[in-house]
A and B are shown apart, each in its own frame.
Chain A
């Protein structure tokens, strides 16, 4: 069975701090995909990144970076120099083709 755990329910930081959102997954498949989505207060899920299980290269996109480690089954997300607009619920998800499983989400609040 596939499972995604986001142990941090809520995180609060002050603007310009760095913050890391943790994601741990379980799967028996050798081929799988990992995702991060952002859900701002408006409610619409916004796609941030997709990673396949054969690509462990870390990725950086502006202030966002992702650390994928198969050895620990983790796919963590770091926001550098956080901003108020980063306040949202962030979901990690695991997919094997058709079966997408989401974690329960981490609510990030960035205070000015």
Chain B
């Protein structure tokens, strides 16, 4: 399977715990995006990387959220001191930037439940 993969697929945690999600993009893609999707809504952009560089992070939801892509391949999204309001689906997408804009291809998501 050469699509975008995300792990874990499901995560249940207690309020106050830290969680980390991983995204492996399509191998030749140089951009990687993180989104959050709550029930009944469309995906909400959080941050994105071009290779190793995080080019936009102002829309991360709070300073408890952080993301890394250390070698320009896989990425991690960490949420510190989780709150019940963080319960959502976290989606990763990747793309290749060439001419014009890029088409983003999405992974299956990680569903987070904070108890």
Contact = CB atoms under 8 A, between A and B. Distances in A.
Contacts of B105: 47
Given A91-B42, A93-B42, A98-B48, A45 B91 contact: yes
A47 B104 contact: yes
B62 interface: no
B101 A33 contact: yes
Interface string A77-95: 0000000000000010101
Contacts of A96: 101
Interface in B80-98: 89, 91, 93
Contacts of A93: 42
Contacts of A42: 108
Interface string A29-54: 00001010100001111110010100
B41 A44 contact: no
B2 interface: no
Q: Report the interface size class on chain B.
A: 20 to 34
Q: Report the interface size class on chain A.
A: 20 to 34
Contact of A47 (B40, B45, B103): B103
A31 B41 CA distance: 26
B112 to A, nearest CB: 13
B104 to A, nearest CB: 7
A50 to B, nearest CB: 5
Contact of A99 (B45, B93, B109): B45
27 contacts: A35-B103, A42-B108, A43-B108, A44-B106, A44-B108, A44-B109, A45-B43, A45-B93, A47-B104, A47-B105, A47-B106, A50-B101, A50-B103, A52-B100, A91-B42, A91-B43, A95-B101, A98-B48, A98-B55, A98-B56, A99-B45, A100-B45, A102-B43, A103-B42, A104-B40, A104-B41, A105-B42
Q: Which 3 A-B pairs have the closest CB atoms?
A: A102-B42, A45-B106, A44-B108
